[in-house]
Amino acid sequence: MSTRIAQRDHLDPLLLLAIVVLLRMGMASSLPCSPDQAAALLQLKRSFTATSASATAFRSWRAGTDCCRWASVRCDGGGRVTSLDLGGRRLRSGGLDPAVFSLTSLRRLSLGGNNFSGSRLPAAGFERLTELTHLNISPPFSGQIPAGIGLLTNLVSLDLSSRIYIVNQGDGVNVMSNLYPAWGFSRVNFEKLISNLGNLRELYLGLVYMSNGDERWCQALANSTPKIQVLSLPLCKISGPICQSLFRLRSLSVINLQRNHLSGPIPESFADLPSLSVLQLSRNQFEGLFPTRIFKNRKLTTISYNYEIYGSLPNFPPNSSLIKLHVSGTKFSGFIPSSISNITGLKELGLSENDFSTELPSSLGMLTSLNLFEVSGLGLVGSMPTWITNLTSLTELQFSHCDLSGPLPSSIDNLKNLRRLSIFKSNFSGNIPLQIFNLTQLQILELVQNNFMGTVELTSFWGLPYLKHLGLSNNKLSVVDGLVNDSAASSPRVASLMLASCKISTFPNALRHQDNIDLLDLSNNQMGGAIPSWVWETWKELFFLDLSNNKFTSLGHDTLLPLYTRYINLSYNMFEGPIPIPKGCTDSLLDYSNNRFSSMPFDLIPYLAGTLSLMVSRNNVSGEIPSTFCAVKSLQILDLSNNIINGSIPSCLMENSSTLKILNLKANQLHGELPHNIKEHCAFEALDFSHNWIEGKLPTSLVACKNLMILDIGNNQIGGYFPCWMHLLPKLQVLVLKSNKFYGQLGPTLAKDESSCELQDLRILDLASNNFSGILPGEWFSKLKSMMLVSTNETLVMKDADTYSTFYRTPYFFPTTVTYKGLYMAFTKIFNTLVLIDVSNNKFHGSIPETIGMLSALSGLNMSHNALTGPIPNQLGSLHQLESLDLSSNKLSGEIPQNLAFLDFLSTLNLSNNMEGRIPESPHFSSLPNSSFIRNVGLCGPPL
């Protein structure tokens, strides 16, 4: 005993040496940071705009103090900065200051979740940060990823992804927007980026558009990143099948490839990756049978919204390891097996739009671990299953797109943990149960598009302390303010509020203290007068504002709105005065159509610098088109139609625009000629100058607009020969030249030029009321290939391409006005089933070409008021889609072909002033009015 005690009283020399070393290390670690490091950090601080966010983030960053003790900064023992984490601070800057590249000892750098105003990253500098292992610089940045990032061979984690809002709109998870202005990286050479990153274990590139998005991305990963564990490439525009090389990456544990253009079958080899725990493949274009073996050992399987994937749910063994299962929006069929209750650890289950049986098995009620349960479609009828309220672990519950009806169960408040309750696009009815207000954890409450009724007080929802999103739109509800508290202290901080079609008569005063709202929809209500001035004082960053279809007459503010926004819709009101312009527009859509606005504020147009779309149609705007619009380089849609604008079209608006896709100046008082020097890289997809006083000729430089789909110059004073040069426009589908001064023959002048006049993609051709003459060339009509293709999909509408870059993307539908079924009709949407030819009111002679019978997709044919002769070709009886045929006021002869009487869709027929012989007998012809056949002296038979 005494010997052991004696041994403890004497320190071992080696132990003493270790203590000394540790003490010296501790002293070293307390060294202050190097002056050059502090100077670089302070320069970086100065590059950020002074806001409340920066005041908080940089409170400890003071000159003369130890920067190693500053918030977000970590140093090594030598006073060199090794970690800088400014991620998610909501800071603002005009660009990344190169001072950061002086911190060459950095191992971790995070700048994501801030606003760098869409600037470009410095082209050089990143290559100096050779020690970096973790880099997060997620956008908004624009342009290219600096090559230096691809040289950081020590990188373990790289995050260049964009932050996005995700909202559920009933058809699965939908991207609404980037959290910040969405410029983002594009045209990224993925192979080059990762070629030297052999140590990479985590790669996040969401919303980074790749220039080489085919299957080479897959092979590049396998070749360059053998240690990769987390692969997140959503919304990267990658395409093609998944290559087998990917499955050489045996360390993969997380794979997120959602919302791309991937195709082909889903490889069964996913089941062979030993560490895989997350597999997210939703919203691609995969097809074929889903390998059920993947279900057996995966913790997460998300394949939803791959509409051509089919399969069935397997019988699940006891203690199945699945944690999340989403098969919504696929062609999975059969029964939901009762053995699904064996997945005792299942946390998420998404079943919708499948061909499962209409019954939800009661065994689902045994999944007491479920946190998320989403059901839609399935032919569900009846009321909400009672066992739902036994799933007390639920934090998210959704029923949508189904025929469930009746009231919500009063036992809904059993689900005490609910954070999201989404009941929409169904037939639920009755009053909103008061028990909902006992769900005090609710953050999202969506009850839109049902049949709920009664009067609800908006402030009653303020009793839900964590409420962020409230949706009551499109029911039979009447929403009123309720008891309004003058203080915001007791209210939740609501971020989005959807109250469309809620019979609201005055602007809700209950919102006055809700200063956190960034999405507000009050459309289709009964509000009038002026918008309260406190609206513009309360919400400075109201990203989404929809006040359309009300009775407002005044903005309640000056023309320059003190607002940072992505979307404003004030359409269908009674606003007057100058067009309002928000002070901050980034990636914005502004819709002021169908009001009484009278002028365009010239001096404020520079504030539109970040606007994507400006729609001012159907107002009383006068004056000329400001040439300052040409400085709005972001503009993609400009619609000034149906106003009283005069003057000529500014040449720069057409000649120098590389972003403007849609220019609609229809129905104004414009004169002069169209600009003639349109440059390469023209972005136009639709041009509508109809119903003006424009003169001259069509500019042949339009051939630079390779994406042009619609050209409407009808009702002007434009002349010249038929524009055969338009065969150089590969996407042209609608060509309207009616009511102008065109002359000469249709098609090429010389036979040798036939191939240079083929408009193969045309679906609407309107040449009415010009001075065209000559014989209608049969060979030319036989080259209208798209008119031979019958579309059965009436939901397929020609519209501008949707993008991910806008806050709330509503597509702009291309309009057109044509004579159809004897009426002058405006089409706000052009369905692909609408295929028309109108050559009426010209001077064509000769016979009707038999080749027109080859155009099997034709729904309307008008050749009236010409000098055509000869019989009606029998071949027209092959046009089984034909709904309208007008051959009146020609010099046709012979009898009406018998097979015309059997065109079942033909509802409008005009053969007056032409024919002879007996009208073919058929029930269909007998139903047509006398006017179809009148003023034909030699014609007889019913219905005459």
Residue 4 to residues 7, 11, 184, Cα–Cα distance (Å): 5, 13, 70
Q: What is the pLDDT of residue 167?
A: 44
> Distance between the two ends of the chain, CA-based, in angstroms?
132
Task: Flag whether pLDDT at 103 surpasses 70.
Answer: yes
pLDDT band with cut points at 50, 70 and 90 for residue 825: low
Are residues 613 and 524 part of one domain?
yes
| CATH code, domain carrying 339 | 3.80.10.10
Q: Judge whether 241 and 217 are in contact, CB under 8 Å.
A: no
Residue 304: closest CA among 274, 282, 273: 282
Asked whether the bond before 943 is cis by omega within 30 degrees of 0, the reply is yes
Residue 230 CA to its chain's centroid (Å) = 27
Q: Which of 621, 639, 674 is the last residue of a domain?
A: 621
Does residue 258 belong to any structural domain of this protein?
no
Q: What is the pLDDT of residue 827?
A: 67
Q: What is the pLDDT of residue 938?
A: 58
Q: What is the DSSP string of 318-335?
A: TT----EEE-TTSEEEE-
pLDDT tens figures, 871-907: 999 999 899 999 889 998 898 888 888 888 788 888 8
pLDDT tens figures, 253-311: 999 999 899 999 999 999 999 999 889 999 999 999 999 888 877 777 888 888 899 99
Does residue 322 belong to any structural domain of this protein?
yes
The predicted model scores a pTM of 0.79
Higher pLDDT, 3 or 861: 861
Which residues are bridge partners to 496 per DSSP? 469, 519
Q: How many other C-beta atoms can be found within 10 angstroms of the C-beta atom of residue 522?
A: 25
Are residues 357 and 444 part of one domain?
yes
**Mean pLDDT computed over every residue of the chain:** 86
Does residue 392 belong to any structural domain of this protein?
yes
Q: Judge whether 352 and 400 are in contact, CB under 8 Å.
A: yes
Sign of CA dihedral 435, 437, 442, 445: positive
Q: What is the pLDDT of residue 401?
A: 85
Q: Judge whether 734 and 709 are in contact, CB under 8 Å.
A: yes
Task: Flag whether pLDDT at 341 surpasses 60.
Answer: yes
pLDDT tens figures, 408-465: 999 999 999 999 999 988 999 999 999 999 999 999 999 999 999 999 999 999 999 9
Judged by average pLDDT, the poorest of 145-159, 188-202, 613-627, 748-762 is 748-762
pLDDT above 70 as % of the chain: 85
Q: What is the pLDDT of residue 896?
A: 81
pLDDT above 90 as % of the chain: 58
Q: What is the pLDDT of residue 195?
A: 94
Mean pLDDT of 853-875: 93
Task: Flag whether pLDDT at 8 surpasses 70.
Answer: no
Q: What is the DSSP string of 853-866?
A: GG-TT-SEEE--SS
Higher pLDDT, 525 or 7: 525
Does residue 799 belong to any structural domain of this protein?
no
Residue listed under structure tokens 């052999």 = 198
Q: What is the pLDDT of residue 173?
A: 38
Are residues 553 and 617 part of one domain?
yes
Q: What is the pLDDT of residue 749?
A: 66
Higher pLDDT, 918 or 209: 209
pLDDT band with cut points at 50, 70 and 90 for residue 92: confident
Are residues 445 and 520 part of one domain?
no
Mean pLDDT of 32-39: 94
Are residues 429 and 350 part of one domain?
yes
Are residues 524 and 445 part of one domain?
no
578: amino acid identity, one letter = P
Higher pLDDT, 3 or 330: 330
Residue listed under structure tokens 């049949």 = 451
Total structural domains within the chain: 2
pLDDT band with cut points at 50, 70 and 90 for residue 808: very low
pLDDT band with cut points at 50, 70 and 90 for residue 542: confident
Which residues are bridge partners to 565 per DSSP? 585
Does residue 433 belong to any structural domain of this protein?
yes
Task: Flag whether pLDDT at 508 surpasses 90.
Answer: yes
| Whole-number Å distance between alpha carbons of 119 and 368 | 49
pLDDT tens figures, 626-670: 888 888 888 899 999 999 999 999 999 998 778 899 999 999 999
Q: Which of 621, 646, 672 is the last residue of a domain?
A: 621
Q: How many other C-beta atoms can be found within 10 angstroms of the C-beta atom of residue 689?
A: 24
Does residue 299 belong to any structural domain of this protein?
no
Q: What is the pLDDT of residue 565?
A: 87
Residue 283: closest CA among 372, 401, 175: 175
Task: Flag whether pLDDT at 179 surpasses 50.
Answer: no
Residue 910 to residues 248, 781, 848, Cα–Cα distance (Å): 69, 22, 15
Q: Judge whether 664 and 688 are in contact, CB under 8 Å.
A: yes
pLDDT band with cut points at 50, 70 and 90 for residue 731: very high
Domain enclosing residue 558, as ranges: 502-621
Q: What is the pLDDT of residue 23?
A: 44
Strand 81-85, strand 73-75: pairing: antiparallel
Higher pLDDT, 228 or 358: 228
Does residue 66 belong to any structural domain of this protein?
no
Q: Which of 576, 602, 621 is the last residue of a domain?
A: 621
Are residues 372 and 448 part of one domain?
yes
pLDDT tens figures, 902-929: 888 888 888 876 655 556 666 666 666 6
Burial (CB count <10 Å: 0-12, 13-18, 19+), residue 386? exposed
Residue 614: closest CA among 573, 658, 660: 660
Q: Judge whether 450 and 427 are in contact, CB under 8 Å.
A: yes
Higher pLDDT, 402 or 487: 402
Q: What are the DSSP E strand ranges found in 810-883?
A: 816-820, 823-827, 836-838, 843-846, 860-862, 867-870
530: amino acid identity, one letter = A
Are residues 439 and 517 part of one domain?
no
pLDDT tens figures, 559-597: 999 988 889 999 999 999 999 999 887 778 999 999 999
Are residues 512 and 425 part of one domain?
no
Residue 759 to residues 278, 430, 762, 814, Cα–Cα distance (Å): 49, 57, 6, 20
Does residue 660 belong to any structural domain of this protein?
no
